[in-house]
């Protein structure tokens, strides 16, 4: 099977704090890996290492055949192939939704404006916001903003999408629309790594669930294995805690 | 002659005013030229320094911070006199004009650099991360994502600071520049009557009052709407 992400032996130190202690993450094409774990377990840091927003202290990361940690790699070029969606959306407030989506298409992919606009509108249509192209982020709800952020990433046709707690900043009634878009994306065959607390989504959309704690992957398996029959005590405790609510 | 007549005679003497009005107009034109030069060069240099500082090259940044603090601390008049009398170029034509231009440029550069810098650093880290994650380079992110937002934040404080420093063109009168205050002072000496100063005050009001009102308008207009 073709691997889209091949991360091995990732260590990350923040000063004296050892955040990632030798993490491996292999992701096949069309696969959705769902990362859970208590806060401070290193799951967001792991995700941010996968497009080198964080510089790993050691290890190797190969995405779509490109060695991200090789000094000769053009990281800006490589990042086009790795979409990322953030907890706080991070839309550019001074641009319209379409402007947000087309900026990298024009500046990085080098598309002329009309072609970029066409691709941008298509991406906005995919997240159900075709008629919001001219709105600025301030005129959109949180759920709509996050969908624009997803459109901004998928417009570049990435090989893998990284989601960093994409619904944590949303009001509960807006979560569904974002998860719906993520589900569509999954069905279209996009490889995805999702860090989230949406266990319902994990159960019916994830191929694999990885439980992280204190900088290591404690346990990985199908949603059924991890949620119904965790092998490790720590996993069991964590699953027990989140299911109490 | 009543006290009121003497007051009018002293400060609103029509004969004196008429005689020196052309000088004051010439001085006003010179003030506008000097102010325009200071504003353009000061704001451009300040922005350039802020952009260099954002590269995060530590030894260079220490130097920038030192220079900026130096010119924020020194009184502009001291800088003008220092350059006018102290630099070896003293004696070239219009040296008073050039040294005032240089001095006020350095002061505006220093203050505006701090304002630009505050604007750039106030933009959330997530904006950088989002742009970089789509493959934009550092420079592209700075120019297309960060600066447009930062400049919007800096316009009100920048306008106020620019007005304050541009008024310092009056200091050029000390180094024999024929700007408004300079020509008014010599007119006072020549006519033994302070009426030209009244004209000078009116000229300054005509120049700067609209700017001050404009600055106030900008401040309310540019308040960040979320």
The residue with greater pLDDT, B135 or B175, is B135
Residue A192, token pair as written in the block: 């995805």
Burial status of residue B15 (CB atoms within 10 A of its CB: 0-12, 13-18, 19 or more): exposed
- Which DSSP category does A73 fall into? S
The confidence score (pLDDT) of residue B223 equals 60
Kindly give the interhelix angle for B14-54 and B180-191, rounded to the nearest 10 degrees: 150
Alpha-carbon distance B49 to nearest alpha carbon in chain A (angstroms): 24
What chain B residue is nearest to A78 in terms of C-alpha separation?
B135
The confidence score (pLDDT) of residue B91 equals 63
* Nearest neighbour of B134 by CB, restricted to A88, A93, A108: A108
* Nearest neighbour of A86 by CB, restricted to B130, B144, B152: B130
The confidence score (pLDDT) of residue A125 equals 96
Alpha-carbon distance A135 to nearest alpha carbon in chain B (angstroms): 13
A→B interface, C-beta within 8 Å: 51, 53, 76-80, 82-84, 86, 88, 90-94, 103-104, 107-109, 138, 149, 152-153, 156
* Contacting residues of B for A92, CB less than 8 Å apart: 127, 130-131, 145, 149
Q: Are the beta carbons of B34 and B168 closer than 8 angstroms?
A: no
The confidence score (pLDDT) of residue A128 equals 94
CA distances from A178 to A138, A167, B141 (A): 18, 7, 26
Cβ neighbors of B85 (< 8 A, separation 6 or more) are none
* Contacting residues of B for A104, CB less than 8 Å apart: 131, 134-136
Report the percent of chain B where pLDDT is more than 70: 96
Question: b/e string for A72-99 if b means 16 or more Cβ within 10 A?
Answer: eeebbebbbbbbbbbbbbbbbbbbbbbb
The confidence score (pLDDT) of residue A111 equals 95
At A172-181, the pLDDT tens digits run: 889 999 999 9
**Mean pLDDT for all residues in chain B:** 90
Three-class SS state of A212: strand
Sheet with A17-28, side-by-side order of all strands: A17-28, A3-14, A58-63, A66-67
Contact criterion met (CB < 8 Å) for A51 and B133: yes
* pTM summary value: 0.86
Contact criterion met (CB < 8 Å) for B134 and A156: yes
Does B224 have pLDDT greater than 60? no
The confidence score (pLDDT) of residue A20 equals 95
At A191-219, the pLDDT tens digits run: 999 999 999 999 989 999 999 999 999 99
pLDDT-derived band of residue B215, with 50, 70 and 90 as boundaries?
confident
Question: How is B194-226 classified by DSSP, letter by letter?
Answer: SHHHHHHHHHHHHHHHHHHHHHHHHHHHTSPP-
Average pLDDT estimate for A116-144: 95
At B129-152, the pLDDT tens digits run: 999 999 999 999 999 999 999 998
* Contacting residues of A for B225, CB less than 8 Å apart: 138
Q: How many residues does chain B have?
A: 226
Residue with tokens 């696969």: A31
Contact criterion met (CB < 8 Å) for B136 and A76: yes
Q: Among residues B1, B15, B4, which one has the least CA distance to residue B193?
A: B15
pLDDT-derived band of residue B174, with 50, 70 and 90 as boundaries?
confident
What chain B residue is nearest to A153 in terms of C-alpha separation?
B134
pLDDT-derived band of residue B226, with 50, 70 and 90 as boundaries?
very low
The confidence score (pLDDT) of residue A242 equals 81
At A74-115, the pLDDT tens digits run: 999 999 999 999 999 999 999 999 999 999 999 999 999 999
At B53-100, the pLDDT tens digits run: 999 899 999 999 999 999 999 999 999 999 988 877 656 778 889 999
Three-class SS state of B38: helix
CA distances from B175 to A198, B84, B98, B172 (A): 72, 7, 10, 5
* Helical (H) or strand (E) element with A67: strand A66-67
């Amino acid at each position: 099977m073709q691997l889209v992400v091949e991360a091995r032996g990732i260590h990350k130190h923040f000063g004296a704090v050892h955040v990632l202690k030798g993490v491996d993450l292999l992701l096949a094409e069309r696969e959705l890996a769902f990362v859970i774990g208590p806060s401070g377990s290193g799951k967001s840091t792991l995700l941010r290492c996968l497009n080198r927003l964080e510089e790993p202290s050691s290890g190797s990361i190969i995405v779509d055949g490109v060695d991200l940690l090789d000094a000769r790699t053009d990281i800006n070029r490589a990042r086009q192939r790795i979409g990322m969606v953030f907890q706080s959306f991070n839309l550019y407030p001074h641009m319209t939704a379409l402007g947000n989506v087309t900026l990298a298409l024009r500046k990085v992919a080098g598309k002329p404006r009309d072609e970029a606009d066409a691709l941008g509108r298509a991406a906005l249509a995919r997240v159900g916001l075709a008629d919001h192209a001219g709105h600025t982020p301030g005129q959109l709800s949180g759920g709509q903003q996050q969908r624009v952020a997803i459109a901004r990433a998928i417009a570049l046709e990435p090989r893998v999408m990284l989601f960093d707690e994409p619904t944590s900043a949303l009001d509960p009634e807006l979560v569904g629309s974002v998860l719906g878009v993520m589900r569509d994306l999954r069905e279209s065959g996009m490889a995805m790594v999702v860090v989230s607390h949406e266990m319902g989504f994990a159960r019916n959309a994830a191929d694999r669930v990885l439980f992280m704690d204190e900088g290591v992957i404690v346990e990985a398996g199908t949603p059924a294995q991890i949620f119904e029959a965790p092998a490790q005590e720590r996993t069991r405790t964590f699953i027990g805690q989140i299911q109490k609510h | 002659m009543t006290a009121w007549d003497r007051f009018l005679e002293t400060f609103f003497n029509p004969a004196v005013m008429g005689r020196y009005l052309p000088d004051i107009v010439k001085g006003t034109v010179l003030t506008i030229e000097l102010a325009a030069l200071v504003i353009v060069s000061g704001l451009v240099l300040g922005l350039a320094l802020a952009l260099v500082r954002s590269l995060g090259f530590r030894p260079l940044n220490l130097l920038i911070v030192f220079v900026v603090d130096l010119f924020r601390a020194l009184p502009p008049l001291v800088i003008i006199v220092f350059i006018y009398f102290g630099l070896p170029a003293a004696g070239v034509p219009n040296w008073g004009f050039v040294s005032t231009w240089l001095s006020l440029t350095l002061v505006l550069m220093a203050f505006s650099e701090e304002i630009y810098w505050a604007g750039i650093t106030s933009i959330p880290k997530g904006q950088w991360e989002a742009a970089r994650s789509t493959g934009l380079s550092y420079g592209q992110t700075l120019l297309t994502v960060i600066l447009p937002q930062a400049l919007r934040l800096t316009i009100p404080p920048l306008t106020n600071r620019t007005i304050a420093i541009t008024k310092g063109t009056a200091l050029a009168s000390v180094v024999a520049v024929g700007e408004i205050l300079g020509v008014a002072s010599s007119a006072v000496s020549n006519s033994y009557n302070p009426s030209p100063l009244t004209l000078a005050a009116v000229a300054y009001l005509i120049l700067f009052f609209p700017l001050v009102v404009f600055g106030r308008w900008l401040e309310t207009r540019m308040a960040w709407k979320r």
